Amino acid sequence: LSQVKPQFESWVNEKYGIFQAIVYRTQVVAGINYFIKVQVSDSIYAHLRVFQGLPSENQGPSLVSYETGKTRDDPLTYF
């Protein structure tokens, strides 16, 4: 998660003191998509989609998409 935090902050043009994963799901493709619910303030959450390629590709995780303005109770679904 710490590897994609700077990319997320750049995309949304914000800095977050809190950046804690609450729950995540995975989807196996030609690598793995991680869907992660992240707490970014006391009551605001974001959903991130992070892609991790196959080990043979030797690439770190990268942020693919995100949704902001989420709550703790919003379901974590494909986006």
For 52-63, how does the pLDDT look when each residue is reduced to its tens digit (9 = 90+)? 998 888 888 999
pLDDT of residue 41: 93
pLDDT of residue 51: 96
Whether residue 19 lies inside any domain: the answer is: yes
Looking at the DSSP bridge assignments, the partners of residue 65 are 49
Task: Kindly state the DSSP code that residue 18 receives in the 8-state scheme.
Answer: -
SS3 25: strand
Q: pLDDT 10s per residue in the chain (79 long)?
A: 899 999 999 999 999 999 999 999 999 998 999 999 999 999 999 999 999 998 888 888 999 999 999 999 999 999 8
**Close Cβ partners of 73 (under 8 Å, ≥ 6 residues apart):** none
Write out the residue range of the structural domain in which residue 42 sits.
3-70
User: How many structural domains compose the chain?
Assistant: 1
Looking at the DSSP bridge assignments, the partners of residue 28 are 32
Whether residue 75 lies inside any domain: the answer is: no
Whether residue 78 lies inside any domain: the answer is: no
Whether residue 65 lies inside any domain: the answer is: yes
Whether residue 77 lies inside any domain: the answer is: no
Whether residue 76 lies inside any domain: the answer is: no
The answer to whether 66 and 11 are in contact (CB under 8 A) is yes
